[in-house]
Amino acid sequence: MVHKQTKKHLDEKALSNVAQELAKPRLAASVREGIEKSPLTADAKFRKGELLHNHNTNEDGLVTRVYELEGAITYEVAVPVIRDTWAGSHYVSDWAESVLELSRNAKLNSSGNPPRDWPS
């Protein structure tokens, strides 16, 4: 059993951490957008939030991040565990731009609830 004094200390520490996080400045959407469109990814063919198809793996997924890796544009993509639906879970995969095209997967595009971290 957790000692009451220890539990109280842990609760106070958690509350303090939350208060510190809330005190941090928030970025306006336009600023966030500007940061995400850095010079390194400005030439990216696709953007965060787009549904892509990977020729090599024959998978469809949602772009959650765009970055440069060793001089090549790379996409962090949420890929559903169950094909053609966001029901259940998803895994994250890194895809090279050269093997991608916009997805024409109507089932996945209209399958209901997207992943929890769906980009806004």
Determine the Cα–Cα distance for residues 10 and 12; give it in Å rounded to an integer.
5
In a domain, 1, yes or no: no
- Domain total for the chain? 1
Phi, psi of 94 (to 5 degrees): -105, 125
In a domain, 22, yes or no: no
In a domain, 101, yes or no: yes
Identify the pLDDT of residue 43: 83
DSSP letters, 7-76, are HHHHHHHHHHHHHHHHHSPPPPHHHHHHHHS-TTTTT-SS-TT-EEEETTTTEEEEEEEEEEETTEEEEE
* From 7-16, 47-56, 100-109, the region with the lowest mean pLDDT: 7-16
Burial of 24 (0-12, 13-18, 19+ CB in 10 A): exposed
In a domain, 8, yes or no: no
48: containing domain: 36-109
Determine the Cα–Cα distance for residues 95 and 108; give it in Å rounded to an integer.
18
Q: Using one digit for the tens of pLDDT, what is the confidence trace for 66-114?
A: 988 888 899 999 999 988 888 878 899 999 999 999 999 888 888 765 6
In a domain, 63, yes or no: yes
Q: Report residue 58 CA to chain centroid gap.
A: 20
Determine the Cα–Cα distance for residues 26 and 54; give it in Å rounded to an integer.
35
